[in-house]
A = this chain, B = another copy of it.
Amino acid sequence: MEIISDYITLSTKGDSDIKDITGEVNSRLAKAGLKNGIVNISVLGSTCAITTCEYEPGLINDLKQMFENFIPKDKDYNHDGAWHDGNAHSHLRSSLVGPSLSISFIDGKLFLGTWQQIIFIDFDNRARKRKILLQFSGE
């Protein structure tokens, strides 16, 4: 068993910009050279999140609309009263979806369906540069 750490850096536009990072995770897994184990994908920051979905333009729009329906951008939040940075909705969406995801791999392949991609969502209200940690533990 070993632990191998790697990073992905991303530039996003914010406002629920959704990035498919499956290809990057796959290439870092190949580089790590492990066969069986788990990759824990953790995002740095409290206004972004990670999950999976079918990465297809229609569904990406549906996801953005879902978050806007659940937690609207233009609403009075206590956090914005204190900080005036207008991103309370970004924080709330991030806490709901969650900041990390662990996906197993078998024989060097991520255990994901054909239409199941790993997505990073930047909920912040401005463009950001983001850092994601991939920590592979396995053999």
Contact = CB atoms under 8 A, between A and B. Distances in A.
A47 to B, nearest CB: 8
28 contacts: A3-B139, A5-B36, A37-B137, A38-B38, A38-B40, A40-B104, A42-B102, A44-B112, A44-B113, A44-B116, A46-B52, A46-B53, A46-B116, A46-B117, A51-B98, A53-B91, A54-B91, A57-B82, A58-B83, A59-B78, A59-B79, A62-B91, A63-B92, A63-B95, A70-B70, A99-B101, A99-B103, A100-B104
Given A44-B112, A46-B116, 4 more contacts: A46-B113, A56-B82, A58-B77, A100-B103
A4 to B, nearest CB: 9
A53 B94 contact: yes
A138 interface: yes
Given A53-B91, A58-B79, A92-B66, A133 B115 contact: no
Nearest to A41: B104
A97 interface: yes
Would you call the interface of chain A mostly helix, strand, loop, or mixed?
Answer: mixed
A45 interface: yes
A12 interface: no
A88 interface: yes
Contacts of A1: 1-3, 137
A72 to B, nearest CB: 11
